[in-house]
Structure 1
Amino acid sequence: MAEEVIETTEVLVVGAGQAGIAMSEHLSSMQIPHLVLERYAIAERWRNERWDSLVANGPAWHDRFPGLEFESVQPDEFATKDQVADYLAAYAQKFQAPIRCGVEVAKVTKKPGAQGFIVQTSAGTIEARFVVAATGAFQQPVIPELIPESAGLEQLHSSSYRNPEQLPAGAVLVVGAGSSGVQIADEIQRSGRQVYLAVGPHDRPPRSYRARDFVWWLGVLNKWEASAPAAGAEHVTIAVSGAHGGRTVDFRELAKSGITLVGRANEYVDGVMKFGDDLVTNVNRGDDNYLSLLAEADEYIERNGLDLPEEPEAKVIGPDPECMVNPLRELDLKQAEVNSVLWATGFSSDYSWLDVDAFDERGRPVQARGVSREPGIYFLGLPWQSRRGSSFIWGVWHDAKYLADHIGIQRSYQQYELSELAQA
């Protein structure tokens, strides 16, 4: 029986989304040999795991890599999901990234008694000195175990939702009021259906204020550089949208359009969904977050003498809608003709393929700025990996640069040999 031919590479990058492409660019510029493996296609999640009308949450001038502008999107417009996918593919082609698509990584183990790792893939075995897990943290859709399948409801995660037409007739309960939940709820409501939107804790920044997009404000106010979320805000989502040309998310306006706001979905009993009593608190805290950013922006403008137009109307908070004055604490789904539930409840990570000493007892990476406690293993694309902006296209590019530099330093240590004089 012929012995298996094992391919070798210096660095193996797993995943060819925005993180893997950024990593490959920096490794290429440093002339470090590497391969990028992708089990599907480049930027697959952008192209085929998002709803049809999704656009980027940041304008094209901001949500991109430094080395390439969007070809067919104006700087202040919001790229569609397909335009983002095309952009990432074009960026990889720009520097001829060594990406192999259709190759799935099954297992990574430490090479016994030697440096490096053995990588089992669907296309054979590869040995690598370093491995970068560039799959990000948004891998497995999370659906809370609240409603049993026996309830007879259509239950979809936001990653499986494409458009209102795929849902059965009737009203829809959307659980989760971050960027995804808000945009999907608004789209379904505009299609002519009744929508109930379960609202949890959230930040609600302005889409723009005084002629500047909120991404600009977060930049000049150094909020992108925050190293960790504020205490108590670890699980707070951001309600922001680039849909319809980019508009500030306003839950009172959503209610005015016909959406019924409810508190967090807490329990399902005999066809009845029970909600928390936190709706008003969550909306008001989101308003406080919104107004505080406006106040900081005003102070920055005055302190720096900027000539930006006044916008007093932005500070006007409308009256509470009826669904906040008398919030629903429970909803009989059958009576309300709710036949589908859409879970915009986020994702969990899946590193089951990475069989190394790099995780805590809950399966979370033990790392500092992406550098694992297992020497030679790196993580890229994690939320708050180095700063608030780490999950964004431009942010992951800077995190990748840090990891590439770290790999370069480690290579220099491993290549060190004693001089002849020292050995004598």
Structure 2
Amino acid sequence: MSEETEVVVVGAGQAGVAMSEHLTAQGVPHLVLERHRIAERWRSERWDSLVANGPAWHDRFPGLAFPDVAPDAFASKEQVAEYFVAYAEKIGAPVRCGVEVTSVRRHAGRPGFRVETSQGAVDARFVVAATGPFQRPVIPPVVPDGAVPAQLHSSGYRNPEQLPEGAVLVVGAGSSGVQIADELRRSGRRVFLSVGPHDRPPREYRGRDFCWWLGVLGLWDAETPPQGAAHVTIAVSGARGGHTVDFRTLAADGIELVGMTASHADGVLRFAPDLATNIALGDAKHLELLRAADAYVERNGLDLPEEPEAHVLGPVPDSAATPRLELDLAEAGVTSIVWATGFTTDYGWLEVDAFDENGRPDQRRGVSREPGVYFLGLPWLSRRGSSFIWGVWHDARYVADHITTQRGYLAHGTTDRPGAAAASRQN
């Protein structure tokens, strides 16, 4: 005999907890199945010194503030994980930890799905895939195994002491890459940082955090990314109290910048001649946001201190003016490569017709083309803010509303079904 419920939510990170809150508020019976612990990726798949990239007043759910973090401070990864544990307890989320979902298949001849797990089967009318975008680390097949003593993804990096003695190449200049490179440099390592296309917002401008600026300027609500920018990384940091990432500063502090990592042969890495271009494009986006902020201040007559010096960028580093195009790993003493090159999704367990020809979820605002299947926690699910803590909460509300509406349709004319009358009343 299998267990039965209306909704199975797969994953108990920020997306799964948010989904549970809205389903509970609408009286929808559900289970949240988590193969590890609540917010496990924050605990075991991030480096030791990681903090949230947004201030505590912003990167949270509406119903609970961080208990031991000042509003303008940045919560540590442990504080973020414990926040979601506390939130799940606060809302009474029916989370079952240590339960891995191995497959989801549609029932034949009747509505709903059979959810197979490591602890037995569950039959559900709806399934929400809340496993997020950070499922499978991506390491480009550039440098063969054995070319250096250690190669690892940023999700496997913990601290400088973990790596063998020697120089380190960090590939990827988003938030993870720049923070790891800076930490390694501060530990006394020689560090090379491979810089690709990126967005570089100011950490703070005119007394307001960039999260505030994106909010008042309506940029969090952008529904589609600019052309070609769906996967562009954002270089911003909450480390050491928060600061604007500036590749000039990183270079001045001793990190050698190189372009995108292109190829490897006979112990030599080759880089694209795009470093100056990537820095210039990041600078242009940085200045564009400053100008938009200035216009907003003037338009609304706000009394915020001017910062004309923020618009003045120094000369590009020498490493960008005359970029290194090759690096002999042994000659440079490089013993480790940290790949801060992102993740891909892994929905091998979800055996339904909910994906496009490239294996990506075919969905709109989390509602997939497979009736009864939903996605949550993905970048640009409904808007720019979708993959952030506060953004996923709002996306979950939309998905919960959709599920409740569908329950009402399914309940029509079947009042003998348990819970059907309640579902009808909610619609």
TM-score, normalization by structure 2: 0.96
Shift of 1:138: 1.1
Partner SS for 2:264:
strand
Partner SS for 1:47:
helix
Shift of 1:152: 3.8
Asked if 1 retains the 8 angstrom alpha-carbon contact of 2:149 and 2:164, the reply is no
Q: Residue deviations 1:6-60, cap 9 Å, x none?
A: 1000000000000000000000011100000000000000011100000000000
Matched, 1:301 2:297: yes
**Which of 202, 206, 213 is the matching residue for 1:206?**
202
Residue identity in the other structure for 2:288: S
**Which of 105, 111, 123 is the matching residue for 1:115?**
111
Shift of 1:294: 0.4
Shift of 1:248: 0.2
Q: Output aligned runs, 1:74-85, within 5 Å.
A: 74-85=70-81
Q: Output aligned runs, 1:183-222, within 5 Å.
A: 183-222=179-218
Asked if 1 retains the 8 angstrom alpha-carbon contact of 2:148 and 2:336, the reply is no
Residue identity in the other structure for 2:233: T
Q: Output aligned runs, 1:260-299, within 5 Å.
A: 260-299=256-295
Aligned to 1:125: 121
Instruction: Measure, in 2, the Cα distance between the counterparts of 1:45 and 1:177.
Output: 21
Instruction: Measure, in 1, the Cα distance between the counterparts of 2:170 and 2:252.
Output: 17
Instruction: Measure, in 1, the Cα distance between the counterparts of 2:372 and 2:71.
Output: 39
Instruction: Measure, in 1, the Cα distance between the counterparts of 2:357 and 2:91.
Output: 39
Shift of 1:355: 0.3
**Which of 38, 42, 63 is the matching residue for 2:38?**
42
Partner SS for 1:159:
helix
Aligned to 2:49: 53
**Which of 223, 231, 243 is the matching residue for 1:247?**
243
**Which of 140, 159, 163 is the matching residue for 2:159?**
163
Asked if 1 retains the 8 angstrom alpha-carbon contact of 2:22 and 2:396, the reply is yes
Q: Output aligned runs, 1:1-400, within 5 Å.
A: 5-400=1-396
Greater mean deviation of Cα atoms: 141-150 or 215-224: 141-150
Indicate the RMSD between aligned Cα atoms, in angstroms.
0.9
Shift of 1:361: 1.9
Instruction: Measure, in 1, the Cα distance between the counterparts of 2:317 and 2:404.
Output: 57
Greater mean deviation of Cα atoms: 383-392 or 323-332: 323-332
Partner SS for 1:182:
helix
Residue identity in the other structure for 2:367: V
Instruction: Measure, in 2, the Cα distance between the counterparts of 1:361 and 1:113.
Output: 26
Matched, 1:411 2:392: no
Instruction: Measure, in 2, the Cα distance between the counterparts of 1:197 and 1:377.
Output: 41
Shift of 1:235: 2.4
Structure 1 residue runs of 4 or more that deviate by more than 6 Å after TM superposition = none
Instruction: Measure, in 1, the Cα distance between the counterparts of 2:230 and 2:269.
Output: 26
Q: Which runs of 5+ in 1 are unaligned?
A: 420-424
Aligned to 2:422: none
Q: Residue deviations 1:107-137, cap 9 Å, x none?
A: 0000001100001100001100000000011
Residue identity in the other structure for 1:238: I
Partner SS for 2:156:
coil
Instruction: Measure, in 2, the Cα distance between the counterparts of 1:235 and 1:288.
Output: 18
Instruction: Measure, in 2, the Cα distance between the counterparts of 1:48 and 1:144.
Output: 22
Q: Residue deviations 1:126-165, cap 9 Å, x none?
A: 1000000000111000000001113243001000000000
Instruction: Measure, in 2, the Cα distance between the counterparts of 1:124 and 1:352.
Output: 18
Residue identity in the other structure for 1:400: A
Instruction: Measure, in 2, the Cα distance between the counterparts of 1:42 and 1:220.
Output: 32
Residue identity in the other structure for 1:222: G
Instruction: Measure, in 2, the Cα distance between the counterparts of 1:124 and 1:332.
Output: 53
Instruction: Measure, in 2, the Cα distance between the counterparts of 1:316 and 1:47.
Output: 39
Instruction: Measure, in 2, the Cα distance between the counterparts of 1:25 and 1:234.
Output: 29
Shift of 1:418: 8.4
Partner SS for 2:146:
helix
Q: Which runs of 5+ in 2 are unaligned?
A: 416-427
Instruction: Measure, in 2, the Cα distance between the counterparts of 1:185 and 1:15.
Output: 31
Partner SS for 1:69:
coil
Asked if 1 retains the 8 angstrom alpha-carbon contact of 2:148 and 2:334, the reply is no
How much identity, in percent, do the aligned residues show?
A: 68
